[in-house]
């Protein structure tokens, strides 16, 4: 009888200890995991890894800890170790939908850093099999297709991303079409390229790159009039890179015997973008070649009144002033340029 009572006491005590210490152990593990997350937020990867290793040592089923370990190793430029950790999780039974998504996303990033874009693409596509409207996976595929120069696929995925975001970006779609057209040019499929460039213009009429490539296309066909028309549209819609077509337009106008139109072209550019110093320099050179030194100087002075810190404009003024200014005036211009160069360097 005493033996039976003793056995019951031991059993009850064991059950009590199990249910008493189990929550404490779980609470202790989660506390360590929280410390790891805080270390990650601080950017202290070494401390975070130490805590995470402690977590998985005490709880081998802590999937989140393994995921974070792999992510840290990838960020620490060790994608091979990260991939091994993440792949090892795939054999675990009864993984939730969210955990599967997290593992495939982690592996996609691992393979991308390893340079295996095909496997990175495959992992992102596995994410989409679980969640076909997953924004991260679509944006990741867009990046992969850009790196692979698969412009037709990039254009399709770009539209998907925009639908998910409910934000239309016609410029991005047009960009991928232009790149697709350039591939067609390289393959000798010129008529298809022309059709694609025109499609890009129709989708985004104010996207400059389409006009640049159309101008190049017509230039190769020696249709210089159409080439100039498209190059000028590029210069207007993409003022930042408009300098790329200045020499092309000048040369085409010269070949057509219309060099007198160069001055008007640069004036139109400046009407659209008054602070375009490259166009201003080109126009000043044209005026100088015509012998209109005073008009060229006035043009540069007008630019300096809008931006007195432009070294480029001051150099142009110095060049134009060599024949008409006095020595002390030239000295002042040089001093100003030196001052600006010194300030910019500092």
pLDDT digits (tens, 9 = 90+) for 73-118: 999 999 999 999 999 999 999 999 999 999 999 999 999 999 999 9
**Position 276 pLDDT exceeds 90:** no
Give the pLDDT of residue 192. Answer: 95
* CA distances in angstroms from 296 to 53, 125, 270, 316, listed in the order given: 71, 60, 14, 9
Whether 298 is in a domain gets the answer yes
Whether 312 is in a domain gets the answer yes
CATH number of residue 302's parent domain = 1.25.40.10
Whether 340 is in a domain gets the answer yes
Whether 183 is in a domain gets the answer no
Whether 164 is in a domain gets the answer no
**Position 324 pLDDT exceeds 90:** no
**Position 306 pLDDT exceeds 80:** no
Predicted structure pTM score: 0.66
**For residue 243, what are the contacts with CB-CB under 8 A and spacing of at least 6?**
278, 279
Q: How confident is the model at residue 24 (pLDDT cuts 50, 70, 90)?
A: low
* CA distances in angstroms from 8 to 14, 15, 19, 119, 132, listed in the order given: 10, 11, 17, 58, 56
Alpha-carbon gap, residue 248 to 246, rounded angstroms: 5
Q: What's the number of domains the chain is made of?
A: 1
Q: How confident is the model at residue 291 (pLDDT cuts 50, 70, 90)?
A: confident
Hey, how many other C-beta atoms are within 10 angstroms of the C-beta on 26?
12
Q: Which of 217-226, 278-287, 319-328 has the lowest mean pLDDT?
A: 319-328
- Domain of 299 in residue numbering reads as 274-346
Whether 214 is in a domain gets the answer no
In contact, 120 and 111? CB cutoff 8 Å:
yes
In contact, 234 and 209? CB cutoff 8 Å:
yes
Give the pLDDT of residue 337. Answer: 63
Whether 288 is in a domain gets the answer yes
**Position 202 pLDDT exceeds 90:** yes
**What percent of the chain lies above the pLDDT cut of 70?**
80
In contact, 214 and 201? CB cutoff 8 Å:
yes
Per-residue exposure over 47-71, b if at least 16 CB sit within 10 Å of its own CB, e if not: ebbebbebbbeebeebbebbbbbbb
Alpha-carbon gap, residue 78 to 71, rounded angstroms: 9
Whether 149 is in a domain gets the answer no
């Amino acid at each position: 009888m005493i033996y039976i009572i003793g056995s019951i006491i031991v059993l009850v005590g064991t059950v009590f200890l199990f249910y008493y210490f189990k929550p404490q152990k779980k609470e202790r593990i989660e506390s360590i995991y929280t410390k790891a997350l805080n270390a990650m937020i601080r950017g202290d990867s070494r401390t975070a890894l130490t805590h995470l290793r402690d977590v998985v040592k005490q709880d081998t089923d802590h999937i989140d800890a393994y995921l974070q370990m792999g992510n840290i190793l990838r960020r620490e430029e060790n994608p091979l170790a990260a991939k091994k950790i993440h792949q090892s999780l795939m054999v675990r039974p009864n993984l939730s939908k969210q955990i599967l998504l997290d593992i495939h996303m982690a592996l996609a990033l691992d393979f991308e850093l390893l340079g295996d874009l095909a496997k990175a693409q495959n992992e992102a596509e596995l994410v989409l099999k679980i969640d076909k409207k997953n924004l991260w996976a679509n944006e990741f595929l867009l990046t992969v297709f850009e790196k692979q120069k698969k412009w037709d696929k990039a254009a399709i995925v770009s539209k998907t991303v925009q639908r998910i975001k409910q934000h239309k970006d016609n410029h991005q779609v047009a960009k991928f079409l232009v790149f697709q057209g350039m591939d067609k040019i390289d393959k000798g499929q010129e008529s298809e390229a022309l059709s694609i460039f025109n499609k890009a213009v129709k989708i985004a009429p104010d996207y400059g790159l389409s006009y640049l490539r159309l101008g190049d296309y017509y230039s190769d066909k020696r249709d210089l009039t159409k080439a100039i028309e498209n190059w000028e549209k590029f210069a207007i819609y993409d003022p930042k890179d408009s300098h790329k077509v200045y020499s092309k337009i000048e040369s085409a106008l010269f070949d057509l015997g219309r060099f007198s139109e160069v001055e008007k072209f640069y004036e139109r550019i400046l009407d659209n973008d008054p602070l375009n110093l490259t166009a201003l320099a080109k126009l000043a050179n044209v005026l100088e070649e015509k012998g209109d030194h005073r008009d060229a100087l006035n043009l540069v002075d007008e630019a300096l009144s809008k931006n007195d810190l432009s070294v480029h404009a001051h150099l142009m003024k110095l060049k134009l002033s060599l024949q008409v200014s006095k020595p002390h005036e030239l000295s002042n211009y040089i001093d100003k340029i030196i001052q600006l160069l010194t300030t910019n360097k500092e």
